[in-house]
Amino acid sequence: MTNIQQLMKMGQQIQAKVKELQDSLESTEIEASAGGGMVRARVTGKGDLVGVSIEPEVVDPEDVEMLEDLVAAAVGEAQKRAREFSEERMRGAAGGLPMQLPGIF
């Protein structure tokens, strides 16, 4: 087998692994909280928001801004964790190859 054929085969294997990982990221949920757990956000492994839970005690009609800040903090942290999780999984799938390979990632 020539080097080009081996590279093509390796590229196809990596693409298959990446596709599998992308599919699994869609079904993986990651959670983060703010305000001592009073506000929790759940995102997919791809960072898409799927849910927010708010404890009733944190809801103060006189301080909506605080609740907004807690929601934003929980969502932001969950999305950050999802990015880190996704990047770690993709690095493993790539077997140490650079993440900037065109057409693969």
pLDDT score recorded for residue 39: 98
Residue scoring higher pLDDT (102 or 82):
82
DSSP code of residue 85: H
Contact indicator for 57, 37 with CB cutoff of 8 Å: no
pLDDT score recorded for residue 104: 47
Split at pLDDT 50, 70, 90, the class of 89 is: confident
pLDDT for 29 beyond 50: yes
pLDDT for 69 beyond 90: yes
Tokens 């809801």 -> residue? 59
